[in-house]
A and B are shown apart, each in its own frame.
Chain A
């Protein structure tokens, strides 16, 4: 088996990794819709999905089934080929970008083949992500154009203008980070953020010397929210003005594909924000001396969540909930026990902190949607070109000055 693996590293190592990451990503997408609906509902003092499964946990499944069984309509006069191409383009580009995201520092071994915790580790990882983002406009623009509907066309036009404008800021805002790290490789960018000030403040790019990338981060996040067409920048699909925007004429699974693409790019952007500004998989605590107990934080977090779920679950309203929730809790507890076995805490650290940081960024994303009102369209463009872009250029200039001045 090991020999076969050595001869065919692509089949043995890369394919399983792709399958696993894809499976996890698609599941995460589905539950992101649930998470968003829950969080927005609670912000607005509602309950959100509650009927399908305990706490609405089976809602994504129900939604998926519904999308599958809806009639797939092609509007009259639509440009057939482009109409079909648009959702595929959107979704495939959005999903491809996860390929360069590194999830942890450790290499692991399958059949004697050592491989990093990412589908691939490219020297141009960041550039590849930006090239995929820049292609992402086509899905939306073509969908708007090919539907043969004025609302869709307006949505498509708005989106191309908006995404092209904010892409500039998005790209310029990370130049500071690239200057600090000196590489496009995402793993190396994370490794460049290792270390602590005064022994306990992490040296992440957000607060890193010589020039903290606070402006960079806010520019990046604003531009990313606009680039993924999320509120408060989702004028591309402004319901009051454009019915549904570029996807007005899409039904059934093609509509679902646009939805999945949007959530997938949300996840990618959160990963990127974490990697570039919050130290990626690095733990916020030092790993030595009096801080070694932090190795057990993942296990403790899982154990507490598991126990809480069991206690809550046995008193749940429905019988299904009384079975499912405690079982989930027990699974979490079992994972917690697994995490404290020798050797495992080290390995789990990276992915645990990475996923936790992503979850926080995604929460902020949803929080924004629940809180902020829309921009007017002309204000949106003015803001992008006259405020964000000059700030991004200023950030690049100051960062490079600071690097040159401190480099003696």
Chain B
């Protein structure tokens, strides 16, 4: 077993455990913390692939900015523990089997897709190459996305603005 595979297994195990914990924890803050663990583990996996920039951005944007907002809102609302109910009959006889089928399906397609990708080995992409791609070839979708985000921000502002009293 090469060190790469060992590190991969550890990170993957941490990511999966974090994801499970996210669902199983009853307190919103604990769930949010588990999500942060998942994101950091994913960043580690990107790093393992040589995608340094993506890994750093993953932590800065997801773990460092978005999740901080999550935690901030949970703290502000002082959300308590969620109450747990027994599985309803519908969930037990339809939901669980359907979920299992979905899981097998996804696993099958991922396994198929990755067996094709194994031949075209992924090269480590430096920050410079990535930005060249982003700002030369994919500049149109990139700018379009930023416009979309801008519109979303403006929409949020319009919705959140108080009505002027005068």
Using a CB–CB cutoff of 8 Å, the interface residues on chain A facing chain B are 79, 81-82, 85, 122-124, 127-128, 130-131, 133-135, 137-138, 141-142, 144-146, 153, 156-157, 160-161, 163-164, 167, 171, 184
If A130-B60, A134-B63, A157-B75 touch, whether A141 touches B27 (CB-CB below 8 Å) is no
Using a CB–CB cutoff of 8 Å, the interface residues on chain B facing chain A are 27, 29-30, 33, 36, 43, 52-53, 55-57, 59-60, 63-65, 68-69, 71-72, 75-76, 78, 126-127
A236 to chain B, nearest CB (A): 14
Name the one of A122, A131, A141, A153 contacting B60, with C-beta atoms under 8 angstroms: A131
B2 to chain A, nearest CB (A): 15
If A138-B36, A138-B68 touch, whether A184 touches B127 (CB-CB below 8 Å) is yes
- Chain B residues with CB under 8 Å of A124's CB are 52-53, 55-56, 127
**Inter-chain pairs besides A123-B126, A142-B33, 9 sampled, C-beta below 8 Å:** A79-B27, A79-B29, A124-B55, A127-B57, A134-B63, A137-B64, A138-B36, A142-B71, A160-B68
Q: Nearest residue in A to B64 (C-beta to C-beta)?
A: A134
A135 and B75 contacting across the interface, CB-CB below 8 Å: no
- Chain A residues with CB under 8 Å of B43's CB are 131
If A82-B33, A123-B127, A124-B52 touch, whether A141 touches B71 (CB-CB below 8 Å) is yes
B116 to chain A, nearest CB (A): 30
Interface of A is mostly: helix
- Chain A residues with CB under 8 Å of B29's CB are 79, 82, 142, 145-146
B48 to chain A, nearest CB (A): 14
Interface of B is mostly: helix
CA A103 to CA B43, docked complex, whole Å: 27
What are 18 of the A-B contact pairs (CB < 8 Å)?
Answer: A85-B33, A122-B52, A123-B52, A127-B53, A134-B63, A134-B64, A135-B64, A137-B64, A137-B68, A138-B71, A141-B68, A142-B71, A153-B78, A156-B75, A160-B72, A161-B72, A167-B64, A167-B65
Q: Nearest residue in A to B126 (C-beta to C-beta)?
A: A123
Name the one of B33, B55, B65, B76 contacting A157, with C-beta atoms under 8 angstroms: B76
B50 to chain A, nearest CB (A): 10
A292 to chain B, nearest CB (A): 38
Name the one of B60, B63, B78 contacting A127, with C-beta atoms under 8 angstroms: B60
If A124-B52, A141-B75, A161-B72 touch, whether A134 touches B127 (CB-CB below 8 Å) is no
